[in-house]
Structure 1
Amino acid sequence: MATPPSPRAPSARPSRRRRRRKCRAPAFKNARHGLPGALRALRACAAAAAGGAAAGAVAGPEAGTITKSNLQRCLQVYNYDEVLFQKNQLCPTCTLEKPARSKHCRVCNRCVHRFDHHCVWVNNCIGALNIRYFLPYLGTLTLMAACLALLIAAFLLQVVLLSGLMLGSYQEWATEINSIVQHLFLTFPRIVLLLGFLLLLSVLVGSYTCFMSYLLLTNQTTNEWFKRRAGCPECWLLLPHQQHSTFQNEYSKDFLGNIREVFRPNIYLKKKEM
């Protein structure tokens, strides 16, 4: 009499689908994997706002230009300090009176209210109404580069720990950092070069972000800062005892006032008109 075949014992080995799901799950449990994408989205929004917003238009749909229709309002916003900005000066290109803290941009061919500089990365002038978007753009760009550099450094550190490079030796000599860096560069050349580029980008853009934050807190523009550093051509009009005195920024207010003027320019302009 033939014995029935015994049922096969369930295998302890998990299925392929189960194994794949088990290996992929921990990668998405860490929240840092979504941080670079979120910073990239914020940077794109800030760049679009800084590049598309009017640089210094007080009113109307003009792309930041000071025209005859809004010239009187621009003239009432800031007082002339008689050092960097003089009264009754005309723009030779626009043939309009130059408001205080304004400048004619040769790239855009327009006069911009509270001109800071012309940024080639956003393809627009940075002025009164879009510098509030340019500063978050710099901040998110710095954070995104630093975050990506941190993730790549964590990946390379994990490779070193799992491969046991720190425990290796050669002729009774312990493994040095130079040997590990050389091994990583020969094994992952593109990743190591990308890490170096991101570190350099973080330092450069981070330094520029700090400089722009300093200008924000002191109520200066890049154009005014360079003029004061180079020496304005009107300083010779001052008296001898005033030429060597400490320069006082007439436009600087208190800490919150300087921040409010940059991030809420519309309300500030309305207050000046009243």
Structure 2
Amino acid sequence: PELQVSLFLMFLFIYLFTILGNMGLIMLIRIVAQLHTPMYFFPSNLAFIDIFYCSTVMPKALENFQSNQRSIFFVGCFVQIECFLLGSMQSAIPYSVVVSQKVCNWLGVMPYAIGFTNSLISVCVISSLAFCYSNAFGTEMVIFVLAGFTLLSSLLITVTYITIISAILKNQSAPGRQKAFSTCTSHLTGVTIFCGSLIFTYLQLDNTSSLIHAQLASVFYTTVIPMLNLLIYSVRNKDVKNALLRVIHRKLFP
């Protein structure tokens, strides 16, 4: 209880930073012609998903920090489940600079389609259970298979990075390699933390200690990862920073 105010302020800052930052990134990519490339098409989609993803849980969490009645409506719980699963495909959005806009559109649609199908099946099977004392083994197996499919689909991004690293080693000069590896490392770090926290959550045993660990892990993939993605694709991106400075300069000195 003595940490409620501090936690509220900390999570409020993270939430506002994530929401405003990702909205700003989307607007910047839309209004700056130089960023209308496949390289920034996917980060703009990722920013949209991160806004949607963290908004699933953060407002309710902030409310709970300021209340002694920490409850959620049954329908609200199901909405959170669906939004979680829909957002869990975010790390499957690939990163590419050499594909056509048509291919980009298809690659951008895939995570939404897979996430929506996944969440729809999950909610349907869970909603068929009785509220208490129901045999949930079959439902647990369905959820486990869907979760495994989601994680494997997300981990396929590793193939993309292997291809990129191979191309870097073959074609880039030493300074170019250093710059490219720096970019890939930051991207791969975000993906690893996201997938690692999800795997840790799903592989936990069913006991109180594991539940606490799972709750801590969930903080990473619902709050830290959306903020980390923003830092990777904006603060650490020279093109985005330069575009932002140009926009600010034009607004201040038209």
- Normalising by structure 1, we get a TM-score of 0.29
More contact order relative to length (CA 8 Å, sep ≥ 6): 2
Q: Higher strand share goes to which structure?
A: 1
Asked which structure has the greater CA Rg, the reply is 1
